[in-house]
Structure formats: structure tokens, C-alpha cells
Amino acid sequence: MTKSIDQARKLENVRYDIRGRILDKTEELEEQGHAILRLNVGNPAPFGFEAPDEIMMAMIRNLPTAQGYSDSRGLFSARTAVVQYYQTKGLTDLDVGDVYLGNGVSELITMTMQALCNPEDEILIPSPDYPLWTGSVALAGGVPVHYLADESQDWAPDFEDLEAKITPRTRAIVVINPNNPTGAVYPREALERFVDLARKHDLILLADEIYEKIVYDGAEMINLATLTGKDVLCLTYSGLSKAYRVCGFRAGWLAITGPRRRAASFIEGITLLSNMRMCANVPAQHAIQTALGGRQSIEDLLLPAGRLTAQRDLAHRMLNSIDGISCVQAAGALYMFPKLDTERFGIVDDEKFVLDLLESEKILVSHGRAFNWDVPDHFRLVTLPNVDDLATALERLGNFMSSYRQ
Ligand code: PLP
């Protein structure tokens, strides 16, 4: 018998369930001719969100000059634009050499975790999380340790839980703000507590702020790095995917602030990995300067009558009108993370619930445990469809739940 060809053992603990088994089933149903409403990925383009014209033009116009590799950290002009952007937010301690461009934030997350983690190093990650964080730490050989967010407090971080989980092996805390999947936007006091803990225990802060420009009702978005001072190392991750609606361009950045001299070895490691992948997609790098300067069209979508706000409000209202479902209003980002009354519906497996909903109603959402939430009592949906499609989907969800028992 021929031997099976196996994946590397290092993948044994790596999970990324938001794109797993359920997508196979979705594709099978689509091949059978069913139209599936995909409420599972925060990808604005398929829902009719066009990228701003000037971003498309910046990319198109620069295409002829974007044929070669760029500097491995990225185009000087794009990195300067990132520095100037953070200056306008009050962050002055940032040089163009502290900025790395990546093929989306995703690449920069995996790259920096590879540069940071030794076996047994613990990284504190929120639960629920955006699962790339847990997967990247596991892939890098580190140990993801989850601290809870508290649903009864609008999904604020549970600092008691967080502090109890800090050990001598803890290296860093991940802060996802605005949060995917909960929609929480952290107030200044919460951010200051993260900084205090990092200072007290000599930890690095990893601030995933990809949704920084998507906040509702005028909520204040504070970049964590503006609070960390010179003594706490902070890695800030953001990019064009969400606010500028160009997920497919793969354009993200990393900005490193704080005691860089003390972190010289870690930063050298990041530079090494950045060099090894040559550079990020160059045509998309040309869109960064254009995106960050000038008028921010995302703001129109967030006005009280703007499309994103209207969709969020409708989703919140309709979800809470379903018996057995409750949902915290999102203050930012593009998601809701509703709670299911597991006793009422007899739910013991949230993935099965998602599959049942998919088969019966042709609506695809993601199960809560895919976000490293331990209890099978939540799911995530994106609030990107227009209000008509969203209303139809949530009406169907309501009908489905009225007779659902697992
Ligand atoms: N971080 C969070 C919290 C996200 O939700 C996402 C994508 O959904 C990413 C990072 C990855 O974004 P990018 O498209 O820049 O790789």
C-alpha cells in the first residue's frame, strides 16, 4: 500500500473554522442551483459597496510603474502616508522605518507572530476573537490563551479574567478594536487598562484596528498606540480592506511604536520575514496614499441615514424581535454576534445549527465556536446586505427559529 501524504504536524493545532466544512456544503448547494445568501464574510464588494473612484484610479494610473518589487517594507510614499495619518491622530512617535506594508493585515499578523513566538510563549487573545489571531499564534508555535469579553457589558473586555490569565510566559495581549465579531468599540478607560496591564507585566500590545474607521453614532475611536507612551511596545495593524472596500487588493500596514531599541531583535526578525516575502502587492500599495488623504467616503455610509447604519439598525431590531435570540447593538465594524437560547432550541452543536439553517433557508452565517467562543450559543452574521435582503434573510431566520429544535 502506498503511504498517505500528510500535512505537517505543526498544523495539528491550527484552526480557521470560519472557512471550513460549512463552505464545502455551501458550494455543494450552489452547484445544485440554490442561491445562498452569504452572511459569513466581511467582504463589502459583493454587497454592492464600490471602492472609491480615486482609489481605483490611483491603482490603475500607477500600474505601469508597479511591475517590479518595491522596497520590502513597502513604497516610501505609502509608508509616509501611514506615518502622516497617525500624526493626525496624535501619534508623533512614528518614523517611516517603523511601518511595514503587507498583503492585507492577515500577512502581517502571521508574519509578526512567526517573529515573536517561542514554544510555550503565551499570547492573550480575546474570546470571541477573529480566529486568524489564534491560528497564527498556534502556527508560530506559541500558545493562544483566551480572555473573555463580557456580553452583559456590551462585550467589554473582562479585565479580571485577563489579569488572572497573565503568567510569566505571557508575551503579548491582542486587542481587536473595533471588534470582530462582537462590534464592541472600547472606551478610553478600557484601553488605558490594557496599557496599565502591559506596563505592569512588561507585555507587548498587538492592536488590530482594521475597522478603525467603521464606528456608528459618532462613537470615539481611539488608536491604542496613542496611549502607550515610550515604554510599551505596540504593534498597530490596519489597512484598506474594510473602510475603503478593497479586500481583494490585499493592502495592509503595521506600525511599530514604543521602545524599539529594546525590541531591536524582534524587529530584526520582522524585517527578515518581510524581506523573505519580497514585498506586498505593489499596485495596491499605490492606493494607500490616495486612500488616507482627502475625503473619507466611508463617513457617508456611517451617517444616521447612511447605508451601513441603516443595515446595522435593521439587523439589531429584527434579531432581537426573534424569540430565543438576543443581540447587543454593534458600536463598530460590520458584524453582530447574537446569542441563542440553547435550552429553548435544544442546541448542543452550533455548527450543526448553522448547517441546518443553511440547508433549510439557504442562509449562511458562522457558528460562534469558530471565533474561539467556548459555548455553542452564538453565531455571527455580517450586516453588509442591503436592507431589503437583510430583512428577507432575518424574516426567514425568524420563521426557521419558530419551529427549530436540535
Ligand atoms: N483583522 C480582523 C479583525 C479582521 O476582521 C480581518 C478580516 O476580516 C482581518 C484582520 C484581515 O484583514 P485583511 O483583509 O487586511 O487581511
- Mean pLDDT across the stretch 392-401? 96
Asked if 113 and 204 sit in the same domain, the reply is yes
Instruction: State the pLDDT at residue 135.
Output: 96
Residue 336 pairs in a beta bridge with: 381
Asked if 221 and 194 sit in the same domain, the reply is yes
- For 84, the 3-state DSSP assignment is helix
Average pLDDT, the chain: 95
Assigned domain for 270 exists:
yes
For the beta carbon of residue 295, count every other beta carbon within 10 angstroms. 9
Query: Does residue 105 have its Cβ closer than 6 Å to ligand 1?
Result: yes
Domain carrying residue 203: 53-292
Q: Domain with 177 in it: what CATH number?
A: 3.40.640.10
Count structural domains, the chain: 2
Q: Given 261, 292, 323, which residue is the final one in a domain?
A: 292
22 Cα: distance to centroid of ligand 1 (angstroms) = 20
- Mean pLDDT across the stretch 26-52? 93
Residue 35: pLDDT band by 50, 70, 90 thresholds?
Answer: very high
Does residue 204 carry a pLDDT above 90? yes
Query: Does residue 210 have its Cβ closer than 6 Å to ligand 1?
Result: yes
pLDDT digits (tens, 9 = 90+) for 275-322: 999 999 999 999 999 999 988 999 989 989 899 999 999 999 999 999
Instruction: State the pLDDT at residue 2.
Output: 87
**ipTM of predicted assembly, 2 dp:** 0.99
Asked if 161 and 128 sit in the same domain, the reply is yes
Query: Does residue 130 have its Cβ closer than 6 Å to ligand 1?
Result: yes
Residue 332 pairs in a beta bridge with: 215
- Mean pLDDT across the stretch 341-363? 95
H helix runs in 32-103, sequence order: 53-62, 76-88
Asked if 130 and 256 sit in the same domain, the reply is yes
The residue assigned the cell 524587529 is: 267
Assigned domain for 297 exists:
no
Instruction: State the pLDDT at residue 159.
Output: 98
Does residue 207 carry a pLDDT above 90? yes
Query: Does residue 183 have its Cβ closer than 6 Å to ligand 1?
Result: no
Does residue 154 carry a pLDDT above 90? yes
Asked if 83 and 216 sit in the same domain, the reply is yes
For the beta carbon of residue 328, count every other beta carbon within 10 angstroms. 20
- Mean pLDDT across the stretch 112-117? 98
Assigned domain for 8 exists:
no
- For 234, the 3-state DSSP assignment is strand
Does residue 327 carry a pLDDT above 90? yes
119 Cα: distance to centroid of ligand 1 (angstroms) = 25
- Mean pLDDT across the stretch 378-388? 96
* Closest CA to ligand 1's atom 8: 42
H helix runs in 63-187, sequence order: 76-88, 104-116, 132-139, 159-164
